[in-house]
Amino acid sequence: AQSVAQPEDQVNVAEGNPLTVKCTYSVSGNPYLFWYVQYPNRGLQFLLKYITGDNLVKGSYGFEAEFNKSQTSFHLKKPSALVSDSALYFCAVRDPYTGGGNKLTFGTGTQLKVEL
Amino acid sequence: GAGVSQSPRYKVAKRGQDVALRCDPISGHVSLFWYQQALGQGPEFLTYFQNEAQLDKSGLPSDRFFAERPEGSVSTLKIQRTQQEDSAVYLCASSLEQTQNTEAFFGQGTRLTVV
């Protein structure tokens, strides 16, 4: 079975500082990995995905994520945080090889708070 | 349309009532998903359609939950005899293709409160 862990319920960072939101996953084969962001009273918005190829993927709003197979991690990063980045971030995994179908399995979310 | 549209945005139901939640996916999107998001949790998969075919309903929590997409576009999630534990945000998502490397686009959700 596929699963995702986001070990931090909340991450606080000062504006202008780099940010990292952690994600680890568990699948039987090679994973497809996604990051989504959720603003209050809004739906989930797609940020970026890793399917294959370069381990560093770049996405919307200056975010990037690094796939690390040996550590089964897919941490979300941004070099310089903005107050407007404050939101709830979800990591998700899809296992295409073991009959998991098309469903995404989400983590429990990490609340990012960027302060002036 | 410009995005995935869900209606109603908010629904209050008395325990035991039936409810129907509607999802209008992005035009032309083949795949459609329903997720349930409880307060403070990540979305949990309910069911998946490829066009009009319901290919996966493994996440539906009980036989009170039923979903359909009869013409391969609009979908309805129906919950019969609602219970308090059904209170959650119900999210619909669609994606252009059925391939698994395609990202899904989510609607704003329907917040269901059962009283």
Burial class (CB in 10 A: 0-12, 13-18, 19+), A47: buried
Best mutation target among B39, B101, B105, B111 (most A Cβ atoms within 10 Å) is B101
- Could you read off the pLDDT of B31-43 as tens digits, one per residue? 999 999 999 899 9
CATH number at residue B86: 2.60.40.10
The partner residue sitting opposite A101, judged by closest CB among B41, B48, B93, is B48
- State how many domains chain B has: 1
pLDDT of residue B4: 96
Q: What is the 3-state secondary structure (H, E, C) of B26-78?
A: CCCCCEEEEEEECCCCCCEEEEEEECCEEEECCCCCCCCEEEECCCCCCEEEE
Cβ–Cβ contact B91 with A under 8 A: yes
pLDDT of residue A30: 83
Q: What is the domain range of residue B57?
A: 5-114
DSSP letter at B15?
T
pLDDT of residue B96: 87
Phi, psi of A91 (to 5 degrees): -95, 145
Residues of chain B positioned with their CB less than 8 A from the CB of A96: 100-101
- Beta carbons of A43 and B106 less than 8 Å apart: yes
Q: What is the domain range of residue A29?
A: 3-115
Say if CB B6 and CB B108 are below 8 A apart: yes
Q: With bands split at pLDDT 50, 70 and 90, how would you rate the model's confidence at A101?
A: low
For A26, the token pair is: 């568990």
Mean pLDDT across chain B: 94
CATH number at residue A47: 2.60.40.10
Q: What is the mean pLDDT of residues A78-100?
A: 88
The partner residue sitting opposite A102, judged by closest CB among B4, B91, B100, is B100
- Could you read off the pLDDT of A58-76 as tens digits, one per residue? 999 999 999 999 999 999 9
Q: With bands split at pLDDT 50, 70 and 90, how would you rate the model's confidence at A96?
A: confident
pLDDT of residue A102: 77
- Could you read off the pLDDT of A12-57 as tens digits, one per residue? 999 999 999 999 999 888 889 999 999 987 889 999 999 988 999 9
For B90, the token pair is: 């119900």
- Beta carbons of A103 and B41 less than 8 Å apart: no
Q: With bands split at pLDDT 50, 70 and 90, how would you rate the model's confidence at B3?
A: very high
Which B residues in the span 60-89 are in contact with A, Cβ-Cβ below 8 Å?
none
Q: With bands split at pLDDT 50, 70 and 90, how would you rate the model's confidence at B94?
A: very high
pLDDT of residue B48: 93
pLDDT at B114 over 90: yes
- State how many domains chain A has: 1
Say if CB B64 and CB B13 are below 8 A apart: no
For B82, the token pair is: 């609602």
As a whole number of angstroms, the distance between CA A66 and CA A69 comes to 10
pLDDT at A99 over 60: no
